[in-house]
Amino acid sequence: MRGSIFAAIGREALADAVERAIRDAILSGRLAPGERLVEARISQELGVSRAPVREALARLEQRGLVVSQANRGTFVVRLTPDDIREIFTLRRVLEGHALASALVRIEPKDLVYLEELTAAMRDASKVGNVEAAMERDLEFHAYLVKLSGSRRLLAMWSNLVDQLRSLSTKFQSLYPDLSLLTKSHQATVEALGRGDHQRAADLLEAHLKEAESLLVRSLEGDHA
Amino acid sequence: MLEVRRLALNRMSSFRGGKLSLSLSLTSRAASARPWAAQAIDVFIYNVYFTSFFLALVFLYVTAFSVAPPRDLIPGILVASAVAVFPIGTYALMSITIPRFGGDYVYVGRVLHPLLGFLSSWNWVFWLCFWIGFGAYSFATVGLSGLLTALGLTLQAPPFLELSRWISTPPITFVIGTIVIAGIALLVSIGLSFFLQVQRWTFSLAVLATMAMVITLGSTSHEAFVARFNEVLGPVLNSADPYHAVIARVQGVPLERSSSFRSVLAVIPAAFLVLPWTIGSAFITPELREVQHSQIRGMLGALLFVSATTVLLGTLLVHVAGPQLLVALAVQDPSGPSLPLRPYFSDLTYLLLQNPVLLVVSGIGFLCMGWMYMAQNMINNSRVLLSWASDGLAPPMLGRIHPRLRTPVPAIFAVSVVAEAFLGILTFSPALRLLSSILALTLSVALVALSAAVLPYRRPHLFAASPAGWRLLGVPLLSLLGIGTLVALAMVDGYYLLDVRYGANSPSSLGFILLGLASGLVYYFIARRRDWGEDR
């Protein structure tokens, strides 16, 4: 009896580790959108049996990072322009709600932290490190969502953003001028500092719409 | 669907089973996707170079052999390596927590006080400029000159010895140094991608040179070394047995001392001339890929490399050259008139390299491992200027990035001009060549350590959101590393302040440190009043 319990725990932890490894490979761009994921090869590569790999792929499918097709196999998800529109529509709803909930909770130290993130983003943007700039950008948004105090909201938001991360390599050439992105964040923080909540919400909405439109245009270009 | 299948097939063709093939195929693709951002391997090389490794190693061995018996060298370096984990870990975690340009400027400024942050970074800028100037000066007088001397002695060719002396004359040294500074400035201006490629190539060469030195030393017996020493230096010194003559010349210094715990401890401050400085990448965090991974592996990996190489070369050197000769060379006047050989491990190794081609390759590798740090110094200083300009503490011009090269060209130019001034001072003022910056730089590290120790309590938001917000037995790891660093620095700074043999407490060194800090203070208040405006 004890033995079977430990085996179950071990498999669970293994599936977690495999899920993390595949997720990291997708999010970092090492596995490209559309790439086929072969259970046998992954299990050989990671030195584990096929069961935790199967479990990890099922979880990743639930998170929207991979898609499985009958009689074909499992593939890294390839987002379409419609997917992007859907994700950003949901992001605007979630982040708008988060910001409204956060307004009563925001303290000066939160604004200092958001300023710090914006400054770090500006540093990365200046030297053209888009990857680091995007990372700081997502940390900025994540912090605003966290400020809402709702763990479920944060989980839903993280799930959506993870799907976007699979496009991280696309972000490299997306923004012709990264300083615009930083300025938008700076303006949002300043509006929050002034207590001008409507302006902060408008800026956030505009910022997300801009990102959506750039991504959609880029993907439509790819498909064309 | 067809495209999916084609992609899958392409991927499969790159799989040849096993971990290595998959890792390689994925790595190469990731690298091509982001061709310029520094990866962990680049950060590792950057940090090895930042220690000015072989140039500093020269001084490490000379200092260690003058304060402790050679048999205590290795235990001392091993203990120092373990202790160095504290400052290096502190910088690594601080750079992950506050991933910005400027290093100390933001770490100390955001946690303790802006003025302290500025002074700490000013201290770095001042001394890194000094060391660029010193590097340009010593490139000719130590690097090139040592190589030419070795060639002259090995080939029995006096013109090389003449050339070595000629390039060590002040005007020629100044011209060579100026060319070196201009070349380095150009190299770091062209763009990070190009620079990282150069780093990798030069490092490969430097590792080859190190391996040549290790193999040469490892395959030579003590008797063979003595015979070679006498063969090469005998005609120059007019002595049949110069090896023992050099040892006999040293009067009043016990060449055979007994080992003790205290003498092992005495090696640590000497080892700290090299080991704890694998932190250069902290100044360029926004230019890295996967910061957490790169900084921790890059900094600690560099410490491991530097420690292992120091131990390996030190062990072989003591075994081959003999402890008495090393102590005798270390305690005599390094510029002694009658000995054409300096007490540098490189010069001693060159003696054994009888093949001129191998000698030249090793010499070039030695120059890379010893002098590439000038590039890292220039990059780091320019990024500090960038962060000052962001906060309105420097003219906006210094915060400008070249739109195509993505490098702060005006800031690099400004750093080069100051370094050139230091080169002039060092070339024509011999007294200042013995300046030591170790107390100044450990002061900056101490401020960062103090900031790290209190960050989780003074800036809990930063700590809570940091990917490096780890705890050990409930205590923030950052605080533990900061406190450990402060304890370590209290010990080594005690040695530097109280023991003249480390060369750190001379009145001129202390005076220059105070001058540096005072000039920083004056600049800060002028800049605050001037207020160039924040760069948003």
Q: Which chain B residues are within 8 Å of A41, Cβ to Cβ?
A: 15, 22
> C-alpha distances in angstroms, B138 versus A45, A109, B134, B247?
50, 49, 6, 27
What is the C-alpha separation between B308 and B315, in angstroms, rounded? 10
A201-210, B25-34, B335-344, B428-437: the lowest-pLDDT one: B25-34
Q: Looking at the complex, does the CB of residue B480 fall below 8 Å from at least one CB of chain A?
A: no
Report how far apart, in Å, the C-alpha atoms of B463 and of each of B106, B227, B482 are. 15, 61, 14
Residue B11 has pLDDT above 80, yes or no: no
Which among B529, B288, B530, B519 has a CA at the least distance from the CA of B396? B530
Instruction: Tell me the pLDDT tens digit for each residue of B441-460.
Output: 999 999 999 999 999 999 99
Q: Which residues contact B304 (CB under 8 A, 6 or more apart)?
A: none
How distant is the Cα of B203 from the closest Cα of chain A, in angstroms? 24
* Cβ-Cβ contacts under 8 Å, A169 against chain B: 33-34
On whether the CB atoms of residues B19 and A45 are closer than 8 A, the answer is yes
What's the confidence (pLDDT) of residue B324? 86
Residue of B nearest to A169 (CA): B33
- Tokens 């989980």 identify what position? A155
CB B348 within 8 A of CB B251: no
* Closest chain A C-alpha to B91 CA, distance in angstroms: 17
**Domain co-membership, A61 together with A108:** no
Mean pLDDT of B95-106: 95
Identify the pLDDT of residue B285: 95
Residue of chain A minimizing CA distance to B384: A123
Q: Which of A39, A60, A76 is the last residue of a domain?
A: A76
- Residues in chain B with CB shorter than 8 Å from the CB of A36 are 4-5, 7-8, 11-12
Q: Which residue of A has its CA nearest to B29?
A: A30
Q: Which residues of B touch A112 (CB under 8 A)?
A: 461
pLDDT at A134 > cutoff 90: no
Among A76, A103, A120, the domain boundary falls at A76
Mean residue pLDDT of chain B comes to 87
Mean pLDDT of A142-159: 92
Question: What is the model's pLDDT at position B157?
Answer: 87
Cα R_g (chain B), whole angstroms: 24
Q: Report pLDDT for B149.
A: 86
Q: Please, which pLDDT band fits residue B45 given cuts at 50, 70 and 90? A: very high
The reply to whether A185 and A86 lie within a common domain is yes
Q: pLDDT at residue A224 above 90?
A: no
CATH class, range B37-530: mainly alpha
Query: Do A160 and A134 fall within a single domain?
Result: yes
Cα nearest neighbour of B28 on chain A: A30
Q: Which domain CATH number covers A42?
A: 1.10.10.10
Q: Could you say which of A28, A113, A119 has the minimum Cβ distance to residue B100?
A: A119
* pLDDT above 90 for B16: no
Which positions in chain A touch B382 (Cβ < 8 Å)?
none
Same structural domain, A143 and A214: yes
User: Between B30, B386, B401, which is nearest A28 by CB?
Assistant: B30
Q: What is the mean pLDDT of residues A19-40?
A: 85
* Last-in-domain residue among A76, A106, A138: A76
Return the residue of A nearest to B460 by Cα. A109
Residues of A in contact with B462 (CB under 8 A): 113, 116
Mean pLDDT on A196-217: 90
pLDDT of B342: 63
Interface of A with B (CB under 8 A): 25, 28-32, 34-36, 38, 41, 44-45, 47, 73, 75, 78, 109-110, 112-113, 116, 119-120, 122-124, 126-129, 131-132, 136, 139, 143, 169, 172, 183, 186
Helix (H, G, I), strand (E, B) or coil at A149: coil
Direct distance between the N- and C-terminal alpha carbons of chain A, in angstroms, rounded to an integer:
59
CA distance, residue B33 to nearest chain A CA (Å): 7
| CA closest to A28 among chain B residues | B30
Strands B475-476 and B471-472, bridge-based pairing: antiparallel
Rounded Cα distance between B175 and A37, Å, is 60
Residue of B nearest to A167 (CA): B33
Mapped onto helix, strand or coil, the DSSP state of residue A74 is strand
pLDDT digits (tens, 9 = 90+) for A64-74: 888 888 888 89
| Structural domain for A95, as ranges | 81-223
Between B535 and B313, the more confident residue is: B313
Q: Is the pLDDT of residue B304 over 60?
A: yes
Quote the pLDDT of residue B359.
86
Q: Are B462 and B97 in contact (CB under 8 A)?
A: yes
Roughly what angle, to the nearest 10 degrees, separates helices B356-371 and B345-352? Answer: 160
B14-28 mean pLDDT = 31
- Residue with token string 């090793």: B362
pLDDT of residue B36: 55
Q: Which of residues 162-221 of B touch A (CB under 8 A)?
A: 192
Mean pLDDT of the residues in chain A: 85
Q: How confident is the model at residue A219, as a pLDDT?
A: 81
Q: Tell me the pLDDT band of A119, cut-offs 50, 70 and 90.
A: very high
The verdict on a CB contact (< 8 Å) between B407 and A25 is no
Mean pLDDT of B13-22: 32
Measured from the Cβ of residue B280, the count of other Cβ atoms closer than 10 Å reads: 25
pLDDT at A214 over 90: no
Structure tokens given for A96? 């708008």
B101 contacts on A by Cβ (under 8 Å): 123
Interface confidence: ipTM more than 0.85: no
Taking the C-alpha atoms of residue A9 and residue A27, their distance in angstroms, rounded to an integer, is 27
Considering only the beta carbons, identify the residue of B8, B22, B407 that sits closest to A45: B22
Query: Domain extents for chain B?
Result: 37-530
Instruction: Using DSSP, state whether B344 is helix, strand or coil.
Output: coil
Query: Given this model, what pLDDT does residue A105 score?
Result: 86
Confidence check: pLDDT of B1 > 70: no
- Both tokens of A147, joined, read 């400020």
Spatial separation of the C-alpha atoms in residues B377 and B280, rounded to whole Å: 8
Whole-prediction pTM value?
0.85
A68 and A89 share one domain: no
Q: Is B34 on the interface with A (CB under 8 A)?
A: yes
Same domain, A56 and A99: no
Q: What's residue B345's pLDDT?
A: 76
pLDDT tens digits for range B324-370: 888 888 876 554 445 656 667 777 888 788 788 888 888 888 899 99
Would you call A112 and B461 a contact, using CB atoms and an 8 Å cutoff?
yes
Residue B12: pLDDT band (50, 70, 90) is very low
Query: Which carries the bigger pLDDT value, residue B12 or residue B411?
Result: B411
* CATH code, domain carrying A119: 1.20.120.530
- The residue type of B263 is S
Rounded to a whole number of angstroms, the distance from the CA of A133 to the nearest CA of chain B is: 8
The count of other CB atoms within 10 Å of the CB of residue B170 is: 16
Is residue B393 less than 8 Å (CB to CB) from chain A? no
- The rounded distance, in Å, linking the Cα atoms of A172 and A117 is 19
Q: Please indicate, yes or no, whether residues A156 and A99 belong to a single structural domain of this protein.
A: yes
Query: What whole-number distance in Å separates Cα of residue B161 and Cα of residue B148?
Result: 6
Q: How far is A155 from chain B (nearest CA, A)?
A: 16
Q: Are B350 and B146 in contact (CB under 8 A)?
A: yes
B7 neighbors A32 (Cβ within 8 angstroms): yes
- A vs B: CB pairs below 8 A: 101
Q: How distant is the Cα of A8 from the closest Cα of chain B, in angstroms? A: 27
Percentage of residues of chain B with pLDDT beyond 90: 62
Q: Are residues A191 and A131 in the same domain?
A: yes
Q: Which residue of A has its CA nearest to B407?
A: A127
B320: pLDDT confidence band, cut at 50, 70 and 90?
very high
Query: What pLDDT score was predicted for residue B329?
Result: 82
Per the structure, the count of domains in chain A is 2
Q: What's the whole-number mean pLDDT along residues A80-103?
A: 92
Q: What is the pLDDT of residue B340?
A: 59
Task: Name the region of B156 (left: φ>0; alpha: ψ -120 to 50; beta: rest).
Answer: left
Q: Say whether B33 and A129 touch across the interface (CB within 8 A).
A: no
Res. B394: pLDDT tops 70: yes
Task: Give residue B33's pLDDT.
Answer: 38
Judge whether residue A103 has pLDDT over 80: yes
Q: Which of B525, B241, B220 is nearest to B350 (CA)?
A: B220
Contact A132 B286 (CB under 8 A): yes
Mean pLDDT over B129-149 rounds to: 92
Rounded-to-integer distance, Cα B291 and Cα B85, Å:
18
Examine the pLDDT at B253 and tell me if it is beyond 80. no
Q: How far apart are CA B9 and CA B15, in angstroms?
A: 10
Q: Assess whether pLDDT exceeds 80 at residue B473.
A: yes
Confidence of residue B5 (pLDDT cuts 50, 70, 90): very low
| Average pLDDT estimate for B484-496 | 97
Name the residue in chain A with its Cα closest to that of B3.
A34
Give B442's Cβ-side CA count (13 Å radius).
Answer: 26
B466: contact with A, CB 8 A cutoff: no
* Confidence at residue B227, expressed as pLDDT on a 0 to 100 scale: 93
Q: A152 and A215 share a domain?
A: yes
**pLDDT computed for residue B200 by the predictor:** 95
Q: Report the range of poorest mean pLDDT among A43-47, B245-249, B417-421.
A: B245-249
Q: How many CA atoms lie within 13 A of B306 on its CB side?
A: 39
Q: CB-based contact (8 Å) between B4 and chain A? A: yes
Lowest-pLDDT range of A29-38, B109-118, B204-213: A29-38
Rounded average pLDDT over A119-147: 90
Among candidates B33, B287, B462 on the partner chain, residue whose Cβ is nearest the Cβ of A29: B33
Grade residue A130 by pLDDT with cuts at 50, 70 and 90: confident
Q: Which residues fall within 8 angstroms of residue A117, CB to CB, at 6 or more apart?
A: A136, A139, A140, A143, A185
Using CB atoms, which residue from B30, B287, B465 is nearest to A127?
Answer: B287
Q: Tokens 């800026």 identify what position? A: A203
